[in-house]
Amino acid sequence: MTEWRDCAGVERVPGRVSGACVFTGTRVPVAALFENLASGATVEEFLDWFPGVDEWKVRAVLDHEARALRALARS
């Protein structure tokens, strides 16, 4: 499981969206990004559908996940 505490684009607030990891300053779960990408959406479409999410936050999440996967592959 990815540790999101070190990702500037993500926050987890107990009581907000049932404590899910969300994009900072929003109620949009990070999982929504991955679900939409898995369904064939582009980052641009995701940003259009969730106007409260900034592109830098999406890029931060994707970069963070890529680093976590590289670290996992090295271990």
Res 37 pLDDT > 80: yes
What is the separation of C-alpha 73 from the centre of its chain, rounded to a whole number of angstroms?
21
* Overall average pLDDT of the 18-34 stretch: 96
pLDDT at residue number 2: 78
* Lookup: tokens for 41: 């959406």
Percentage of the chain lying above the pLDDT 90 cut: 80
Give the phi and the psi of residue 12 in degrees, each rounded to 5.
-130, 115
Percentage of the chain lying above the pLDDT 70 cut: 99
> What are the start-end ranges of the E strands in the chain?
10-12, 21-23
